[in-house]
Structure 1
């Protein structure tokens, strides 16, 4: 089988899928898609790759041509598929088999929670707009767009902090589902939060969340795949002119 990942590394869900591919040791071809420039809306992409017109998208083809090409969109669906099909001994740690249905359900719970409590409050594209806009508009973007998103994300971070406060016998920070080994839930939410950490925001009010995120970000594949977002975040941070409330937003 040949796997092709259509993605962009400034996209949180795309990074989550690519990190998982590397964690599982699965070979894949990389095809960068300029989603910000509208490439996902081109007729060829909707027709041949993903009719949902989003990234990531994974194409799985049989070199012999016996079964054609299977294309899948949506990062959560892709990651579950990879864990079910990859010939990897670590795949059950990321998402367990049927004989561990309760543990899988717990992972599913946090992945579902992610949409309305973390991803819903994504600030990064507004931060990009603030970075590129005229100085006279920067405070308006901060007041009308970023602060409401920060308020929503603070609620999600508080929930994560409370969950991570539960007793544990582990010396290292526990992952969301109570084990040392991260799961798809950890990877999904961590990629989302890492976007704004790369810009320079710090979770002073949520030390357990910060420790948990640092643990994931230190994993080699996470670190490597996140290089582009760190570079972009550094540029925004250095040129923000003090408009971003990096120290106060989550303090």
Structure 2
């Protein structure tokens, strides 16, 4: 595969795709997209890269000009990750992340969690709201915290509680969404999402199994390397927050 990844490392789905590429030793070319300033919505991107106008986007080509001569274009991180697993040279390693037809029942369980992710973890993302809050006037911080951030955090708690209950019935030595010792695409996608609040400095004292699950996956070298920008951004927010984020007590 001759792949080009159009992405931005401040995007959690983009990080999940890039981490997987590195985990499977798949060579790729990186092309950063300034999504915050609308680059993914520009006509050239929609026409030549991804008609969905979203990142990540993956292009596969046989030459050195992927945007002009792409043989295959794909958007949506979950679809991209499954495609990478199907096409990777190291199929033994790839099937640990997503077995496909080799184990249709385990693949179905991974698909189930990936589908659940969108409506229960991703839709309650607070990182970008907190980043915007971080840049606003001091007099507005507490007001926006209560009206915008708190409701998202309260809804996220129900998802964390479900995950905590799910992990309670697993072998304590290897917490993964689908059981077994090896993480899957579902673990990777969801932890990339949740790690954003960890990067800011939030703690999860009320959800110890979820916290350990996040720590286990986030400690992988590729995860840490790809997440360096989000870690730096989280540190900046934390150090300048003035305490209004209530990092220790929000997720009791």
- Please give the per-residue CA displacement for 1:53-80, whole angstroms capped at 9, x wherever unaligned: 1100000002399x95211000000000
Work out the CA distance in 1 between the residues paired with 2:102 and 2:183.
19
- Please give the per-residue CA displacement for 1:148-188, whole angstroms capped at 9, x wherever unaligned: 000110000000000011142x63x3211001100000000
Residue ranges of structure 1 left out of the alignment (5+ in a row): none
Counterpart in the other structure of 2:56: 56
The answer on 1:81 being equivalent to 2:83 is: yes
1:154-233 equivalence runs, <5 A: 154-168=157-171, 171=173, 173-233=174-234
Work out the CA distance in 1 between the residues paired with 2:170 and 2:6.
40
- Using the TM superposition, give the Cα deviation of residue 5 of structure 1 relative to its aligned residue in structure 2, in angstroms: 0.2
- Please give the per-residue CA displacement for 1:179-201, whole angstroms capped at 9, x wherever unaligned: 11000000000000001100000
Work out the CA distance in 2 between the residues paired with 1:159 and 1:175.
14
The answer on 1:98 being equivalent to 2:86 is: no
Work out the CA distance in 2 between the residues paired with 1:85 and 1:163.
31
Work out the CA distance in 1 between the residues paired with 2:246 and 2:64.
55
- Using the TM superposition, give the Cα deviation of residue 242 of structure 1 relative to its aligned residue in structure 2, in angstroms: 1.1
Work out the CA distance in 1 between the residues paired with 2:235 and 2:133.
14
Contact in 2 for aligned 1:154/1:250 (Cα 8 Å): yes
Work out the CA distance in 1 between the residues paired with 2:138 and 2:55.
32
Counterpart in the other structure of 2:24: 24
Work out the CA distance in 2 between the residues paired with 1:211 and 1:5.
30
Counterpart in the other structure of 2:14: 14
- Using the TM superposition, give the Cα deviation of residue 97 of structure 1 relative to its aligned residue in structure 2, in angstroms: 2.9
**Following TM superposition, where does structure 1 have runs of at least 4 consecutive aligned residues deviating by more than 6 angstroms?**
none
Work out the CA distance in 2 between the residues paired with 1:62 and 1:167.
45
Bigger drift between 93-102 and 71-80 goes to 93-102
- Using the TM superposition, give the Cα deviation of residue 136 of structure 1 relative to its aligned residue in structure 2, in angstroms: 1.2
Contact in 1 for aligned 2:54/2:75 (Cα 8 Å): yes
Contact in 2 for aligned 1:33/1:39 (Cα 8 Å): yes
Work out the CA distance in 2 between the residues paired with 1:95 and 1:133.
42
Counterpart in the other structure of 2:245: 244
Work out the CA distance in 1 between the residues paired with 2:222 and 2:241.
29
- TM-score normalized by the length of structure 1: 0.96
Counterpart in the other structure of 1:70: 72
Q: What count of residue pairs does the alignment treat as equivalent? A: 248
Work out the CA distance in 1 between the residues paired with 2:70 and 2:131.
40
Aligned pair partner of 1:119 in 93, 113, 122: 122
Aligned pair partner of 2:142 in 139, 142, 150: 139
Work out the CA distance in 2 between the residues paired with 1:167 and 1:72.
35
- TM-score normalized by the length of structure 2: 0.96
RMSD of Structure 2 on Structure 1 (CA): 1.4
- In structure 2, the residue corresponding to 1:36 is in which secondary structure? helix
